[in-house]
Structure 1
Amino acid sequence: MVQQYQSPVRVYKHPFALVMLIIGVDFVYFIQRNVLDRRSSILEIEAFNESFSSRVSVIEKCRYFVHPENSEWTCFEQTASLDIKNFFGFENSMEKLAMKQYAQNIAKGKEIIEYFVNQLKEEGITYVAPWVDPLKQIDLKDENLESVQEEDKEKKELCVAETKLPSTRDMQLSSDYIERYLGKLDMMQESRLVQLRHSIEELRGSSVPPDATLLRFLRAREFSVEKAREMLTQSLHWRKKHQVDRLLEEYEAPQVVKDYFPGGWHHFDKDGRPLYVLRLGQMDVKGLLKSIGEDELLLLALHVCEEGLSLMDEATTVWGHPVSQWSLLIDLEGLNMRHLWRPGIKALLRIIEIVEANYPETMGRVLIIRAPRCFPILWTLISTFIHENTRNKFVFYCGTDYQEQGSGGLRDYINPDFIPDFLGGPSEEGVCEIYGMVPQRFYIFDMTAATTYIVEGGVVPKNLYRLDLETTSSEHEHSLYHSISLSRGQSHHVVIHCDDPGAVLTWDFDVMRHNVLFSVLHHTKDNEIDRNPANSEVPSPSELELAMTKEWKEGVDCVKVEPSVICHDGESIQGTHIMQEAGLYILQWQHQEEPGEFLPSISSHKAQLMYFYETLPSVHYKGSMMSLQSAVSGRSIASSSLSR
């Protein structure tokens, strides 16, 4: 496979004639062809190898020309191809290695030109007169002047036609432009960017996305031009089909979103990225979906993404350095198993899939705040649908860890003045204007307070539900849950066999009536239950049936591994337990009698509850979430490197 290199335009801020003096093109050395067109101020160099040409073929083309917008500057661009035809089966690897070395060498080219320019200045040479067309010096009285001028005009027109100067857009992609608006790229990354742009121009003409967009798609495909082009082409078709380019101007959020969707833009992080805050734990997922539908919720998410692109462009201009990503802060206080309503999960996964495909590499960091003990379930469900590059940008906090003053808290990523007030940020009076003036369009950068103007969410009234969005049955709502009733003194047990130490047992239940005492137990006496002779590690069906009906007693045949909790009428309880040892674990609910209650056991005094439980494999848990029992912040692998 032939390796290609295409440089961006490099600008020497010196006149063309002076640069030509340094280049020295009056002679041809080795196998190289130099063509200097003084009339159009263009030097073209083409070089190729003759030695070992049967094994290796190298072709390099370079071009110097006058900057189209500043005649006192000189531009330089080059392309190269390398084809190793025979290298003992290692052709592809050697091509990549050689091209990498080539790119490192040409990076020194500009330094060399600048060095010799400075040398000439020390010798007193600061100006070289530009070449003047001798035809212009012909005596105006010459009788052949008219014919000579006509001939000269024809030559000029022919030269201009043969020489295509870069357009203004081509000139934008210079090395200086890349560093200012796109960030630091190595030589090969610059080359891939130029190649992708040319490739998209061939497909779409002048309607080429911004360079920052091209770069994001390249990064998403590890700078493979072919893969990035395929991904970008599909995305451009998707945008055209769904009129996404008109979303910012035409989208109007439904009133229920304005009143109950707890998300919005809020200032920026320490890297200058726009910051979006989502209070997911306060969001009524079911209510929003039944009020606006899945498609409208997707439209809301896409509008946020489009706003993010616009704000990143403006931030790049405001801060004077490239801002190509935005950050997301998700507050999970209040999250419970009801957020895992199946239609809600389905909608979330659809949004993730579409955003990953069409807005790659736009997420700079995701801060997960106040993660409850049921969060590992949600993370396990959605993490496999998130690209690994994005997963590595997640930073997790549980409890109040985000309030840490030193390393590890929100202050590592967000200036203390801009931490949201509901997370302990300063009051309106305590904020200082330390970042100077910002254009009014940056409404998210309100410099006067950390007070958020994000609605608190809450339950969407059922009178706002749309009948055309109601499902024909309620199977999606409660198919995960079991309902039970407990008479006075009665207990209910759920027995879980664990043969995967480190797995996580997760539960969620709602007390619908009366009070119950909830406990988590671990069976410690293996000899009380006969083992399956075929496999001593796996309980037989009869063993599990016996375990389900057995009256488990703490301190007799099991031990308590979680503190017992008295759960009152109307409460919702969630929790997790890491099963450190193999064996049987028991979830136990007991009817809890209130003091002074002497009424006979009648149906109205039965305790009623609805519960759900799930076991998460240890391999999923260890890779996705910290031990929530330890109340220590968990961080992804890349979070530290991304924090600065």
Structure 2
Amino acid sequence: MAAQVKSEATKKAEIAVPQERDPPKDKSEITQVADIVVSQDQEPCKGVENRGVAMEIVKVAEENAAIKQENESKTGDVVVEEGEKKDEADESSGDVSPLFPEVENITSFREESNLLCDLKEHEKKALFEMRSKIEEAILANKLFKEKDEQVEEPEKAKLLEEELEKAQKPAVEGQDKEKKEIRAEEEEKPAREKVEEKEKSMQDGEEENKSVKEGGEQEKTHVAIEENVVDIDKDIVLWGVPLLPSKGDMGTDIILLKFLRAREFKVDEAFEMLKNTLHWRKEYNIDSILDEDFGTNLASAAYINGMDREGHPVCYNIFGVFENDEVYNQTFETEEKCDKFLRWRFQLMEKGIRKLNFKPGGAFSLLQINDLKNTPGPSKKELRLATKHAIGLLQDNYPEFVARNIFINVPFWYYAFNAILSPFLTQRTKSKFVFARPARVTEVLLRYIAIEEIPVHYGGLKRENDSDFSIDDGVSEVIVKAGSAEAIEIPAPEVGTLLIWDLTTLGWEVKYKEEFVPTDEESYTIIVSKERKMDWQEESVRNSFKNKEPGKLVLTIENGSYKKKRVLFRYKTKNSSSN
């Protein structure tokens, strides 16, 4: 028998995708959030010492939000901040279907297209020019050579200066002895004329030998040049993608477009950025960084877990980990440890890129979740400097690798701080920022990640090493109107049936209880879980019950607030014969 539900029919809200057209001025947005979070030189908390200043900052934030909303209404774009949505439209809906409605497959956002047909004319022109420059540089073996020569030039200039200083010093000292030497020279002149005649005859023979020797050296140089041409490396790759356009790899244009977008489609700047990235990777041995072992001390500080709705790998950054003094000192106590921290962060980035698909239609960037709960303050100078350094290198060498930067558990001071910084950020950068207060974390994450992929400590249903449910198991939802209650009924007609269920609430602040109601009216109702209040600080519910008589499990959600609540759940039944 299908489970019975009395609830309001859900209306599905589409989330518009921000498609900001203003590109960054000089750097990509990769992990740019951490720079704002950690770089707290201005100490925003201390700067807001009186109520009047605080209200002014909040007023600025509200005005910026109003301007942003007005602009978005004109362009049709929506920048999601805190997941605020109006509920009035849904409140007017009538009775629900007796069957559990499946959770809607929300379209969160899509990346900019890398297909040639979707590019604008100036973007196509820039891409063609970038292809040509890369092809020419690789075939002429100049992609690395030019940079090496630039590095050597300052060293050569320094050596030249030292030689000039040495040459000038004896010249000055020789002025005092000049008169004495003139007299000696006049006395030795007759003898020297005879010696010069002999030397002249010897020089004629040496010049002939020298011309023969120079001819041989020219031949050797010519041979060496030919050998260099033969040794051209046409297999230069970046993140596993060949950079030589004539190879015809579908991922080449995707990589080139990342650098072009990071530099506003300015070809020369994008080409220079690409060359710098290749040299940086070579200098720091990034291609072999995946083989390095950094231990498990930082495993909880940042990690990749699951995918979002569009297939982007999700990277979680947990800044609260460094509130622990022991972890902090182990990571930033010395310069050597700071360097290790940087390499560990680069390794995590490379692991995430390994999960990407550099083909048309694939996911070729990451979704960043930045948990600001218990974020260390400005006193943690080493963390601030190390993270700022890491961000600079990530921005320069991993352009356009972040699809969205979602900030969760955002404290009040951060909104004020962000309002001050907002005018200095490009529209392209700001369009990738999403903010969520602690009470709305689950709701905001659900816009981008399926509830089955959201970890339980963020209100989702994903548990590590879960043997009871998988991401393929369906999730249903009911809507609980303001000031009302809804009951989810799970049938158990056979004795010895094991019932297992997950449940989470968006908006929280509801009363929840679990009961087993026997079919026999003369039997007593069994309280599985007493009524309690659920708030945003709790994890999602996971429970089980095995019945000793036929009946049904009833999950009751009471909404005493003035706003509707969404309840997401799933369940399984296992008969005694299958146990």
TM-score by length of structure 2 reads 0.39
- Of Structure 1 and Structure 2, the greater helix share is in 2
| Relative contact order, higher structure (CA 8 A, sep 6+) | 2
